[in-house]
């Protein structure tokens, strides 16, 4: 049947997760951050990242303690936890990823160490998706 999209099991799409004002405010905060490279399989990706709460090494899969999640991300973290029906403290990592024009990311599965994932996309038409594995 045309027009019906079946979402993968555990995936939820929330088109109005943030207001336009919330998105603009977050984009402004994220624009001023320093980001680090993503190197996978010896190749440097076009996207750059900033880890909070937990660090992750893309080449080795090593998970390490990271810089604390900043207070300004707390409202979004709280909403993400509510979406999953979990306590906020269970969302141990916040990963900010910047994709410059022309950068893309192919289909992938997040590292199993991270369990359930909520992705909030800013500056694009894909506002929020979550994947619950439990």
> Residue 72 above 90 pLDDT?
yes
Task: Write down the mean pLDDT value for the chain.
Answer: 83
128 pLDDT above the threshold of 60: no
User: Is the pLDDT confidence value at 111 over 50?
Assistant: yes
Is the predicted pLDDT of residue 50 greater than 60, yes or no? yes
Q: Are 95 and 69 in contact (CB under 8 A)?
A: no
Region for 85 from its dihedrals, namely left if φ exceeds 0, alpha if ψ lies in -120 to 50, beta otherwise: left
Percent of the chain at pLDDT exceeding 70: 82
d(CA 126, CA 119): 9
Q: Please, how many CA atoms are within 13 Å of residue 93, restricted to the half-sphere of its CB?
A: 22
- Give the pLDDT confidence of 9-22 residue by residue, as tens digits: 777 888 888 899 99
- Is the distance from CB of 14 to CB of 128 less than 8 angstroms? yes
Tell me what pLDDT residue 37 has. Answer: 93
């Amino acid at each position: 049947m045309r027009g019906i999209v079946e979402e993968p099991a555990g995936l939820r799409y929330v088109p109005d997760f943030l207001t336009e004002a919330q998105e603009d405010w977050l984009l402004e905060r994220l624009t001023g951050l320093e980001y680090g490279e993503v190197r996978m399989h010896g190749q440097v990706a076009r996207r750059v990242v900033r880890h909070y709460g937990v660090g992750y090494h893309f080449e080795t899969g090593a998970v390490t303690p990271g810089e604390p999640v900043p207070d300004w991300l707390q409202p979004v973290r709280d909403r993400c936890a509510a979406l999953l029906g979990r306590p906020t403290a269970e969302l141990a990592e916040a990963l900010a990823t910047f994709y410059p024009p022309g950068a893309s990311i192919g289909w992938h599965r997040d590292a199993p160490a991270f369990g359930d994932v909520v992705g909030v996309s800013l500056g694009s038409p894909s506002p929020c998706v979550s994947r619950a594995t439990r």
